[in-house]
Structure 1
Amino acid sequence: MGFPGTWMTESESVVYRVVPKCACSTIGQIMFYSDHGEFFDGDIHDAKAGLHKWALDASQAPITENVINHGSYAFTCVRNPYTRILSSFFDKICGIQRNGKRYRGNLVPLLVQKYGIDVGGPDGKDEFDQIASFRRFLLFARDTIRWRRPMDPDIHWSAMSGHVSTFIVNGGTYDKIIWTESFNDGMQDVLDAIETPHRVDLAEIPRFNESEGHGPKRAHPVGDYFDDLSMHLVREIFKRDFELFKYDFEDPSNKMPIGEIDLAEVHAKLGD
């Protein structure tokens, strides 16, 4: 199976396992800058050179050798499951993507038809009941993850623990898991642990939120989107994420972690 979703600097200073909707655009640009002294011109997900990616055939051998031998510092980044799934809804379901089209072609019409979801009209700019639509989307996300119907789960709303685990199961070891909510602190720990061709000053790094502006603005506080039923659905989908990455299931409005991540626990529980 190899190491899907794994990126590595060309200098092999650091290895990163991408988790969608968890600051991956910013992390990728920091990695690119640390090697080349400049940012990639465009969305880092489109870069075909300047950064090793598992999706590029020529990168698979160097990534495999490095990861199996733990040749470089390896890390990943996670996010509160409540805010992550909410962000996925506004970006991927309500938003127009950077190619000018809806995400995954017929996905949104399917959701409108089968789940009664409203996405704010053809361009996503009309007023709509965000809370009701989001809760219906949660039913759909649960159906894809639990029963793989009406489609396989999408990487943007499948559990973070699933993404994180493939790296471990196939022979990788994490040195650090950082939280999106305290990004600068975590990313500084990573940078302090590695040697890079170009020095990175986090205070100078812009945030590369490539999904910004794709969809409508969130109209309510995070906690308002989650009633008892939707919290139950979120727990069903993301129970391991809350437990392993130490987020607060009981309070959707608290995005901050409530404990320290235990790397030994993560490797033990996700390495089966």
Structure 2
Amino acid sequence: MGFPGTWMTESESVVYRVVPKCACSTIGQIMFYSDHGKFFDGDIHDAQAGMHKWAIEASQPLIEANVKGHKSLAFTCVRNPYARILSSFFDKICGVQRNGKRYRGNLVPMLVQRYGAEVGGPEGKDDFDQIASFRRFLLFARDTIRFRKPMEPDIHWSAMSGHISTFIVNGGRYDQIFFTEKFDEGMAKVLKKIKTKHKIDLKKIPRFNESEGHGPKRLHKVSDYFDDLSRHLVWEIYKKDFQLFKYDFDDPDNKMPLAEVDLDEVHRKLGD
């Protein structure tokens, strides 16, 4: 199994377990900059050099040796589950992707046909009922996660705890888990504990939101998208995420965590 979704700087200063829709583009670019003194030209997810990634075969033995020996600080970043699933919907489902096509080929047409969702027409620019469509997408997301039908779950809406657990189960240990909502504070703590070739001023780092502009703008406050049934589905999918990462299930509009992450609890509960 190894360490899927794990990135490491070439200098091995730091190890990061990617969690999709949780500032991963910005974090990857900061890691790249810390080694090279410049940002990667393009989407950091496309970089095939300048950084070690588990998806690059030559990087695997280096990442494995580092993680199992806990040679470098290891961290990840989490986000409010309500905001994360909404972001996945507007970016991946409603948005036209960088290549000018819909995400994952037949996924969106299937969602439109089988679940009756609307996505703003072929260009994603038409008006549509965002709330009704999102709730239909949420049902689809639950079906993929719970029943693996009509397809396998996608990394952008599968639970954060699932991504984070693979690192622990295979022999890794996190030194820090911080919140997207307190990004500068969390990233500053990571940078303080590692040695980088190039100094990073977080105030001057742009936000590399690779999904921005793909889809329509969210028109309503978060809680409007989640009626009683939607919240039931959210709890079914993301119960562990709310509990372990201390987010407020009762108030969808409160994006901030209620407490700091208890690393011992995370390792205990996700390490089985």
TM class by smaller structure: over 0.9
The AA in structure 2 aligned to 1:217 is K
The AA in structure 2 aligned to 1:25 is S
1:156 aligns with 2:118: no
Secondary structure in structure 2 of the residue aligned to 1:15: strand
1:117 aligns with 2:117: yes
Distance in 1, Cα, partners of 2:223 & 2:14? 36
1:202 aligns with 2:234: no
1:30 aligns with 2:30: yes
Distance in 2, Cα, partners of 1:223 & 1:184? 26
Deviation of 1:260 after TM superposition, in Å, equals: 1.4
| Structure 1 segments (4+ residues) deviating >4 Å | none
Corresponding residue of 2:72: 72
Secondary structure in structure 1 of the residue aligned to 2:77: strand
Distance in 1, Cα, partners of 2:54 & 2:214? 27
Q: Deviations over 1:66-123 (max 9, x none)?
A: 0000000000000000000000000000000001100000001100110000000000
Secondary structure in structure 2 of the residue aligned to 1:135: helix
TM-score, with length taken from structure 2: 1.00
Q: Deviations over 1:32-51 (max 9, x none)?
A: 00000000000000000000
Percent identity over paired residues: 79
Distance in 2, Cα, partners of 1:104 & 1:48? 21
Corresponding residue of 2:41: 41
Secondary structure in structure 1 of the residue aligned to 2:238: helix
Corresponding residue of 1:240: 240
The AA in structure 2 aligned to 1:122 is P
Secondary structure in structure 1 of the residue aligned to 2:109: helix
Corresponding residue of 2:229: 229
Distance in 2, Cα, partners of 1:102 & 1:246? 34
Q: Deviations over 1:119-174 (max 9, x none)?
A: 00000000000000000000000000000000000000000000000000000000
Corresponding residue of 1:265: 265
Distance in 2, Cα, partners of 1:173 & 1:109? 40
1:90 aligns with 2:87: no
Deviation of 1:237 after TM superposition, in Å, equals: 0.1
Structure 1's unaligned 5+ residue stretches are: none
Query: How many residue pairs are counted as aligned between the two chains?
Result: 272
Secondary structure in structure 2 of the residue aligned to 1:76: strand
Secondary structure in structure 1 of the residue aligned to 2:177: strand
The AA in structure 1 aligned to 2:211 is S
Structure 2's unaligned 5+ residue stretches are: none
Corresponding residue of 1:190: 190
Distance in 2, Cα, partners of 1:39 & 1:113? 41
Deviation of 1:223 after TM superposition, in Å, equals: 1.1
The AA in structure 2 aligned to 1:161 is S
